[in-house]
Amino acid sequence: MTPLRFPLPGKSPFHHYPEMKLNPAFPLIVSLGLVPIISSCGDGGADAGGDPGAGGKAGVSEPLSQGEDWPTWGRDSTRNMVGNARNLPVEVNPGEMDDETEEIDLKTAKNIRWIAKLGSQSYGNVSVAQGRVFAGTNNDSPRDKRNVVDRGNLICLDEKTGEFLWQLIAPKHAALKASDWEYVGICSSPAIEEDRVWAVTNLGEVICLDMNGLANGNDGPFKDEQKYYGAGYAGLDKARDVTVEGETRTLSDEHATLVESLTKQIEGGLEGDALKAALSRRKSTFAEGAPRIDNTYADILWIFDMRDADKGVGAFPHNVSSCSPLVHGDILYTATSNGVDWSHTNIPGESVPGLIALDKNTGKLLGKEVSGVSERVLHASWSSPAIGKVKGRDMLIWGGGDGFAYGFDPIPVRDGERGAPILRELWRYDGNPPHYRHKEDGSPIKYATFKGPNEIIGTTVIHDGLVYIVTGQDPEHGDGVGMLSCLDPSGTGDLSGKAIWTYGYGDGSGIGRAISTPVITDDGLVICAEYDGDIHCVDAKTGKPCWVHETGSRVWASTLVADGKVYLGTEDGEVVILGATREKEHLGTIELHAPIYSSAVVANDTIYLASQTHLYAIGRPR
């Protein structure tokens, strides 16, 4: 396998573009320990709309009544990205951004309700519910001026104003590039139900949070938030407070020991360059600890560490932990992101499940797949699970890191041979045709080559009793063959080669590699983007192509369909708007201020779209 080309610090693990300013040093205006991150068009022109937001207010707006929320990735358990909305805009002006400060002036903005500053890299898709907006990002625009080091952030904003309410700030894993790449942040789209929020952190933890943060007290059973913010869940037992020059922080055992050792050296009479070096190292190490937390931090209810071999499942996430959990009934389902190590040839956890089920109330492990996905994993199991009705019964559908789609009974059952509860496999389907896996002479085709096999990164979708999947690879591997498939999930056993239809890569036609999720419209269209920038529309029943639109840019995001329109963000920072129709209709293009790797969502007649650096709430004046 061709090894990954490691980018410079501050760049994504998936790509490297020296010309892009993805990790700037932001001049911050600090007030009461928080950075105002809101640009509101309350002072803008007639087309601005929205209310002014100054940030940091304790009150929360009432949930908006129009339309509906978007409480999980894909809107609901079927993961079909079709939103209930009306009167969504096509003409949008996001205002003028100062390239040095990244502050946005909304005086010239049109159809922008508000804009919130994110970090320097944002891959987590937005969820909206109960009057709150959640987005994953990094800590490169710190909202707590005391906590400024690299972290994974999940921020909670007020839906109406965009005001900052609270944030989860997850420490980084010591393995960094191997499992928790620098500056990538939290990639998970949270699931929200009533007053609970579930997400997967950059540390490979499944975490349950209180919707209100710590503002209404520290609810249990988890009570060690201070230690968590300083050392992560894996380091709780040995985390401790250390005081330097009158300030106390909570540090991991490793960092605390180093700070204490450096303090002894400094107080022991070091001089000159040796003293300067010791002071500098102590300062940077001490900064890795957590300051005294306040009610702008997340209230953690429980944590399940997927990496823990004893209390978790021993997962080895490859580069990042990237899955959006699915809550269905009392069960939470998530992929583990288990994959290869830094060499891209070894699989540290061949017996580790790629998909698990937890009790949503306690975090207790209820079941896991035992289909051998990790034995065959090509890169990592990053795809998010889905649940839908198949002939009247619920079925759990998931795309594995081995390139197979799987159907499971969603209720874990005890396996007599293993003596443990499992997710019982009903069927599997290879998303790669045989000629993607083997040459004519039977020899395997190398992974990460143009003609080689793919995993499933985009989410499987269920619509009208059928399953739709598309295959692809880590964008670092470039372009290559792909395939979009439509399956009848009512079958059993190995369904490979038995799809209702496939739409594969051909000479100048078909779909290439994709990390996007397909969307299926109510009038029978499947719309899906591929990594090279083409948007494909095919008939949902036959797979016959209707049209292809070339965006001219790389695409990581998934298509959103709402109000008869298709919205898709691109790496060039453009939002392409098409008609969700059988005849191609290009309605317009919105130009934002930075590359877009997240997908647009819609809630209560407002489009929420995160670029690398900002979150935009787009809608007509109310």
pLDDT in tens, 106-139: 999 999 999 999 999 999 899 999 999 999 999 9
- What the block records as the tokens of 55 is 């940030």
**475-534: per-residue pLDDT in tens?**
999 999 999 999 999 999 999 999 999 999 986 789 999 999 999 999 999 999 999 999
Does residue 361 contact residue 416 with C-beta atoms inside 8 Å?
no
Percentage above 90 pLDDT, the chain? 84
Task: Tell me the whole-structure pTM to 2 decimals.
Answer: 0.89
Nearest to 1 by CA among 517, 377, 381, 514: 377
Task: Give CA 565 to chain center in angstroms.
Answer: 24
Among 53-57, 270-274, 522-526, 532-536, the minimum mean pLDDT is found in 53-57
What pLDDT shows up at residue 420? 87
The Cα 235–Cα 252 span in angstroms is: 6
pLDDT of amino acid 88: 97
Could you give the count of Cα atoms lying within 13 Å of 306 in the half-sphere of its Cβ?
Answer: 36
pLDDT at residue 35 greater than cutoff 90: no
Residue keyed to tokens 């979708």: 461
Following DSSP, what letter does each residue of 359-415 receive, concatenated? ETTT--EEEEB-S-HHHH-SSB--PPPEEEEETTEEEEEEE-TTSEEEEE-SS-EEE
- pLDDT for 176: 60
Is residue 88 a contact partner of residue 580, using CB atoms and an 8 Å limit?
A: no
Encode 560-579 in three state secondary structure: EEECCEEEEECCCCEEEEEE
Torsion of CA 418, 422, 426, 428, to 10 degrees: -90
Report whether pLDDT(328) > 50: yes
- Domain annotation for the chain: domains and CATH numbers: 38-217+295-618 (2.130.10.10), 218-294 (no CATH)
Residue 34 pairs in a beta bridge with 31
Q: Please give the helix or strand (H or E) that residue 262 lies within, else none.
A: helix 253-267
- Look at residue 96 and give its three-state secondary structure: strand
Which two tokens mark 515?
A: 């990390």
pLDDT tens-digit map of 341-352? 988 999 999 999
Average pLDDT of the residues of the chain: 89
Whole-number percent of the chain with pLDDT over 70 = 89
Neighbour tally for 123: CB within 10 Å:
23
Closest C-alpha to 618, from 156, 97, 165, 106 = 106
Over residues 586-611, the pLDDT tens digits come to: 999 999 999 999 999 999 999 999 99
Mean pLDDT on 8-26: 35
DSSP H/E element including 527: strand 525-529
Between the two ends of the chain, the Cα-to-Cα distance in Å is 54
* Per-residue pLDDT at 540: 98
In whole angstroms, what is the distance from residue 252 CA to residue 234 CA? 10
- pLDDT, one tens digit per residue, over 161-211 is 999 999 999 998 876 667 888 889 999 999 999 999 999 999 999 999 999
Query: What pLDDT shows up at residue 39?
Result: 53
Largest CA distance in the chain: 79
pLDDT digits (tens, 9 = 90+) for 213-264: 999 999 989 999 999 999 999 999 999 999 999 999 999 999 999 999 999 9
Give the Cα separation of 305 and 311 in Å (integer).
7
Of the CA atoms within 13 Å of residue 449, those in its CB half-sphere come to 11
Q: Could you give phi then psi for residue 29, rounded to 5 degrees?
A: -105, 115
pLDDT at residue 360, rounded to an integer: 98
Other beta carbons within 10 Å of 316: 23
Joined together, the tokens standing for residue 305 give 């560490």
- The Cα 517–Cα 74 span in angstroms is 9
Give CA–CA dist 133/139, Å, rounded.
17
Per-residue pLDDT band at 618 (split at 50, 70, 90): very high
Residue 41 has pLDDT above 80, yes or no: no
Name the amino acid, one letter, at 96: E
pLDDT at 24 over 80: no
**CB-CB contact of 617 with 604 (8 Å):** no
Residue with tokens 């061709």: 2
- Label residue 20 by pLDDT band (50, 70, 90): very low
Tokens of 106: 């909304």
**Shortest CA distance to 339 belongs to which of 382, 308, 310, 385?**
382
Residue at 103: amino acid letter: E
611 CB burial (10 A radius; 0-12, 13-18, 19+) = buried
- Rounded CA gap, 203 and 198, in Å? 14
pLDDT of residue 29: 26
Closest CA to 180 of 339, 368, 303: 339
Task: State whether residue 38 is helix, strand or coil.
Answer: strand
What would the pLDDT profile of 371-430 be if each residue is shown by its tens digit?
999 999 999 999 999 999 999 999 999 999 999 999 999 999 998 777 789 999 999 999
